[in-house]
């Protein structure tokens, strides 16, 4: 079985570290980190992760602008994107889904449930 690679994009180092530790420890996935939209675009094009966890609220290029640029690039448009956001009302969820994101996970998230939420959204079997 190949190890899944997840790119976690968040401008807050604490969120990055919590997500990284949880996903690596609970699910055994390899976690790459990006702290900006631009960093995400570069890493996604080079590393081709199996999925991206993308924060919506970031300075400079927010998550929605980053997602749009991922979709415009043939090398990254097929990578599933799950949003990490504090804005999680049903109207927001509909808007995110209409844009083509796979799911949205509320921040703050439960560190022990994060891997299961990601696996559920991606349709991955949970063998952890």
Cβ-contact 34, 74 below 8 angstroms: no
- 110 inside domain: yes
- 126 inside domain: no
pTM above 0.75, yes or no: yes
At 81-103, the pLDDT tens digits run: 999 988 777 666 677 777 778 88
- 128 inside domain: no
Residue 92 is predicted with a pLDDT of 66
- 117 inside domain: yes
CATH of the domain at 96: 3.40.50.2300
When divided into structural domains, the chain yields a total of 1
78 has pLDDT over 90: yes
* Band (121; pLDDT cuts 50, 70, 90): very high
**Three-state SS at 101:** coil
How far apart are the C-alpha atoms of 64 and 69, rounded to whole Å? 9
Cβ-contact 29, 116 below 8 angstroms: no
Phi and psi (nearest 5°) for 105? -110, 130
**Three-state SS at 111:** coil
How many Å separate Cα 45 from the centre of its chain?
15
At 25-44, the pLDDT tens digits run: 999 999 999 999 999 999 99
């Amino acid at each position: 079985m190949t190890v899944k690679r997840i790119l976690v994009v968040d401008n807050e180092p604490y969120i990055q570290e919590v997500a990284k530790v949880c996903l690596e420890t609970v699910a055994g996935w390899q976690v790459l980190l990006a702290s900006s939209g631009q960093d995400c675009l570069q890493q996604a094009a080079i590393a081709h992760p199996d999925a991206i966890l993308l924060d919506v609220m970031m300075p400079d290029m927010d998550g929605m602008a980053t997602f749009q640029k991922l979709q415009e690039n043939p090398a990254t448009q097929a990578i599933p994107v799950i949003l990490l956001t504090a804005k999680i009302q049903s109207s927001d969820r509909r808007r995110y889904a209409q844009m083509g994101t796979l799911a949205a996970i509320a921040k703050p998230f439960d560190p022990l449930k994060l891997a299961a939420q990601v696996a559920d959204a991606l349709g991955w079997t949970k063998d952890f």
